[in-house]
Amino acid sequence: MNNIGIAINPSKDRDNKILNMVIQKLRKKFDFKDISIFNSYDIEKQDLSHIDLLIVLGGDGTLLGIARALKEECDVVLLGINIGNLGFLSSVEISEIDYALEKLEKKQYEIVDRMMLKCSVKSSGENEELKALNDVVLARGTLSRMVKFKIFVDGKIYSTFKGDGLIIATPTGSTAYSFSAGGPFIYPDLEIITITPICPHTKSMQTIVLKGDSVIEIYTENEEEKIYLTVDGQKAVEVNQKTSVKVSKSEKNIKLLLFDDYDYFKVLRTKILNNSKECDGEEF
């Protein structure tokens, strides 16, 4: 890790106190002279080809946005340091910065791959390509009626149902909107895709777990009312009745740096299931 960059969410650190503190500690620990600083809002316009490790200072939304913005040829490793709210995707909290730098110095970490989704939205001869680390969601507008969904998996009809929406999630995204809609937790290292309905009008439509190389195609009907496609809860596009939405595994994974004592189940308990810290290590 010779070339290090920092991506900062300026809305989380308006006076640059956190950024300056992290830079100071990095230079003291590693004697870095040149540390590249990036604004997370326009990361897609920046050249990251010379960066080995990108420290992401923000919350889950910041890391999700950066993951989508990285170019296909970019092989940078992301280290999330949470200065936001939930921070489920982050490796550590900002209060643990000294611990994190100590681990980096001793090389006590591993680099893991997390699968992403690619989404092709084809309408009236035009094709828009989107990426997602968490999920792709198709849902009705705020005041619209239920949507009729027709779902194909690998070219075969899977289901037709009416409901408020549909969530196609990665294992990383299984703890996000998919979980709120009743989907299962999926261990993040697996390459699996889940399809979870949002408020289906029939109980016959349940979450299905598919192999990672499945190709999912969706058509929607909503009597000309508004339907939206959203990736990672951040970028939304309106789709119409003649739109084909195709979702599959992206060719490129995202690389995350996790320290060697990272405990997924501890993070799951404390950040998602809301168990108190007093329960950590408790035997049953």
Q: What percent of the chain has pLDDT over 70?
A: 94
Instruction: Report whether pLDDT(222) > 90.
Output: no
**pTM listed for this prediction:** 0.90
User: Cα(35)–Cα(194) distance, rounded to whole angstroms?
Assistant: 39
- Annotated catalytic residue 60: yes
Residues annotated in the binding site for NAD(+), as ranges?
A: 60-61, 134-135, 145, 162, 164, 175-180, 234
Over residues 86-96, mean pLDDT: 91
Question: 1 falls in which pLDDT band (50, 70, 90)?
Answer: low
pLDDT confidence of residue 283 = 47
Known binding-site residues equal 60-61, 134-135, 145, 162, 164, 175-180, 234
CA 147 to chain centre: 25
Which residue in 13, 34, 42, 60 is the catalytic one? 60
At 163, the pLDDT band (50, 70, 90 cuts) reads: very high
Q: What pLDDT sits at residue 253?
A: 95
Domains along the chain? 4-115+253-272 (3.40.50.10330), 117-249 (2.60.200.30)
